[in-house]
């Protein structure tokens, strides 16, 4: 029996922009997906998915999960005819869009297979395999999700050949709230839509992307100075840019406004957008609870966490 884990993530700055080479800042969450792999008597592959989360998520991602597993097995040179297996997914990371559930499962599965077959793969190799697996969900993944899922912590990420990752350190962990819109989004479609609009209107999008790049550098400096007020203001600016590239949605906009109205220092969508999650910066437990409770009163599912 092989075991593996992969962290969930929250993108604080740069989603979508990071796909096109702009740096991004992400933090792994304390929640993770766990995978168990064992030899299977029947033919092929049997997947038992015990994760909980947004209604309809697991079912709507069924085909993408199947494709993702095919990419994983190919990258790991596993022949199911010779090595039929059963994969069981669990852990405390819920399956919400925008929280890195697919990347967390890809990393967990790769690690569990490596453990079961005594491959002793490095984190670097696990990350490469998870990136391949993410293509099924994102089409053209940036790599930030699987990197956060593999390594954990707060990271600065820049896509390239090779991609660059740096660990960021901040003075103290900071409370955040993640609110789930309840809408399951197709990341592959959303990423492709941004690329299409960027190609059709390069002048408009080049300006937005330039603004996004300047913003993420300011955000890094502000985090390192532990200037959380400025971090929050920059999150709000980032949300405006994401709205301009048409990846927000009415539920996300509602949650962002609600969080700010209740005192959050900044709030924005996180991840692919359209549906999925948003994140609010809520330093101190009291503020975190105030914002989270307000969302729950409106019927939304919420995660209380820390970054850094």
Prior bond of 27 cis (ω within 30°): no
Exactly one of 145, 186, 211, 261 is catalytic; which is it? 145
pLDDT of residue 140: 84
Identify the CA nearest to 193 among candidates 251, 121, 246. 246
The span from the CA of 249 to the CA of 292, in Å, is 20
**Domain termination site, one of 111, 132, 167:** 167
Identify the CA nearest to 272 among candidates 3, 6, 17, 36. 17
Same domain, 178 and 73: no
Same domain, 109 and 212: no
Range of the structural domain that residue 236 is part of: 174-307
Domain count, the chain: 2
CATH code (residue 42): 3.30.230.10
pLDDT of residue 210: 97
Same domain, 225 and 191: yes
**Domain termination site, one of 148, 167, 186:** 167
Same domain, 178 and 156: no
Q: What pTM was estimated for this model as a whole?
A: 0.90
Same domain, 10 and 152: yes
Tens-digit pLDDT string for the chain (308 aa): 999 999 999 999 999 999 999 999 999 998 999 999 999 888 889 999 999 876 777 777 889 999 999 999 999 999 999 999 999 999 999 988 788 999 999 999 999 999 999 999 999 999 999 999 999 988 888 899 999 999 999 999 999 988 999 999 999 999 999 999 999 888 889 999 999 999 999 999 999 999 999 999 999 999 999 999 999 999 999 999 999 999 999 999 999 999 999 999 999 999 999 999 999 999 999 999 999 999 999 999 999 999 98
DSSP symbol at 269: E
Same domain, 203 and 238: yes
Same domain, 9 and 146: yes
Q: Is 79 a catalytic residue?
A: no
Same domain, 22 and 160: yes
Please return the burial class of 98, using the count of CB atoms within 10 Å of its CB with bins 0-12, 13-18 and 19+. buried
CATH code (residue 187): 3.30.70.890
How far CA 57 is from CA of 12, 61, 252, 276, in Å, comes to: 23, 6, 17, 10
The span from the CA of 223 to the CA of 225, in Å, is 5
């Amino acid at each position: 029996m092989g075991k593996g884990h992969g962290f969930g993530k929250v993108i604080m700055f740069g989603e979508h922009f990071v796909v096109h080479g702009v740096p991004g800042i992400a933090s792994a969450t304390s929640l993770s997906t766990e995978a168990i792999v064992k030899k299977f008597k029947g033919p092929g592959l049997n997947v038992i998915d015990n994760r909980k989360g947004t209604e309809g998520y697991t079912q709507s991602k069924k085909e993408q999960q199947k494709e993702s597993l095919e990419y994983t097995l190919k990258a790991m040179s596993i022949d199911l005819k010779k090595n039929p297996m059963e994969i069981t997914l669990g852990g405390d990371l819920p399956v919400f869009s925008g929280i890195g559930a697919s990347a967390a499962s890809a990393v967990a599965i790769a690690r569990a297979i490596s453990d079961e077959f005594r491959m002793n793969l490095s984190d670097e190799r696990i990350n490469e395999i998870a990136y391949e697996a993410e293509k099924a969900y994102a089409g053209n993944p940036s790599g930030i999700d699987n990197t956060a899922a593999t390594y954990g912590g707060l990271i600065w990420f820049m896509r390239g050949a090779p991609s660059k990752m740096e660990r960021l350190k901040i003075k103290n962990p900071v409370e955040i709230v993640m609110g789930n819109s309840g809408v399951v989004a197709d990341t592959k479609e959303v990423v492709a839509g941004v690329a299409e609009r960027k190609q059709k209107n390069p002048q408009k999008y080049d300006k937005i992307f330039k603004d996004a790049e300047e913003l993420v550098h300011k955000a890094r400096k502000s985090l390192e100075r532990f200037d959380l007020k400025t971090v929050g203001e920059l999150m709000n600016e980032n949300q405006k840019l994401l709205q301009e590239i048409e990846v927000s949605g009415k539920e996300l906009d509602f949650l962002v406004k609600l969080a700010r109205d209740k005192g959050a220092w900044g709030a924005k969508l996180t991840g692919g957008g359209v549906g999925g999650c948003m994140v609010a910066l809520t330093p101190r437990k009291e503020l975190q609870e105030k914002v989270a409770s307000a969302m729950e009163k409106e019927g939304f599912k919420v995660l209380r966490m820390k970054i850094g």
